Amino acid sequence: KQEVTQIPAALSVPEGENLVLNCSFTDSAIYNLQWFRQDPGKGLTSLLLIQSSQREQTSGRLNASLDKSSGRSTLYIAASQPGDSATYLCAVDSGGSNYKLTFGKGTLLTVNP
Amino acid sequence: DGGITQSPKYLFRKEGQNVTLSCEQNLNHDAMYWYRQDPGQGLRLIYYSQIVNDFQKGDIAEGYSVSREKKESFPLTVTSAQKNPTAFYLCASSSQLQLEQYFGPGTRLTVT
């Protein structure tokens, strides 16, 4: 059974700092991995999707990498801003025809002005 | 605007009552999903549907039921058999081509 772990559970940084969020998964046979952002009391916003054949994806100040063999993904946020404060969730699709995602518990990021 | 809507945003019910949560999408997505989120836990899959008139149980389907009579709609009923129904419920959808899942704003259900 696929398990997804996110470390750290919470992170507090000063504005402007570059930071890395970590995601690990137990079964390396994944189809794709998706990073989401969740603001308090809100739904999830998709940030980046990395397919199993890809090593990384970039969107603005965000860069996500994927190392299937080691079961790891990182989300790099450059020049963090207070508006980046949210919970960041990692989810993996272990393949098959049903597109089911297994989620980590998330990292709560606080960017202090 | 294309997207996923969930209603209501907040829902309060007495124990022993069934309640139905609405999820509608206009993204023309084939697949739809229901997740439950509890504090300190990741999202857990309740039910999913890949096509109209077909759906499968997820990891925590007991005490829940769904229907998929239209492509755009995937309502979730929380029955009185669900032992701990108080939670934040999220609906999502995806296309078979793009794979990325898109989420609605969620419904917070409180049962007392």
Report the DSSP pairing between strands B107-111 and B10-13: parallel
List chain B residues with CB under 8 Å of A101: 43, 45, 101
List chain B residues with CB under 8 Å of A105: 40-42
B100/A42 touch (CB, cutoff 8 Å), yes or no: no
Place of tokens 């991995």: A33
Which run of H or E residues covers position B106?
none
**B103: CB partners within 8 A, 6+ apart:** A36, A43, A44, A45, A46, B4, B90, B91, B92
pLDDT, one tens digit for every residue, chain B (112 residues): 569 999 999 999 999 999 999 999 999 999 999 999 998 888 999 999 999 999 999 999 999 999 999 999 999 999 999 999 999 999 999 987 667 899 999 999 999 9
* 3 state SS of A83: helix
| A6-48 pLDDT per residue, tens | 999 999 999 999 999 999 999 998 989 999 999 999 999 999 9
B105/A106 touch (CB, cutoff 8 Å), yes or no: no
How many C-beta neighbours within 10 Å does residue B58 have?
A: 19
| A45-69 pLDDT per residue, tens | 999 999 989 999 999 999 999 999 9
Three state DSSP letters for A10-73: EEEEECCCCEEEEEEECCCCCCEEEEEEECCCCCEEEEEEEECCCCEEEECCEEEEEECCCCEE
Distance from CA of A89 to the nearest CA of B (A): 8
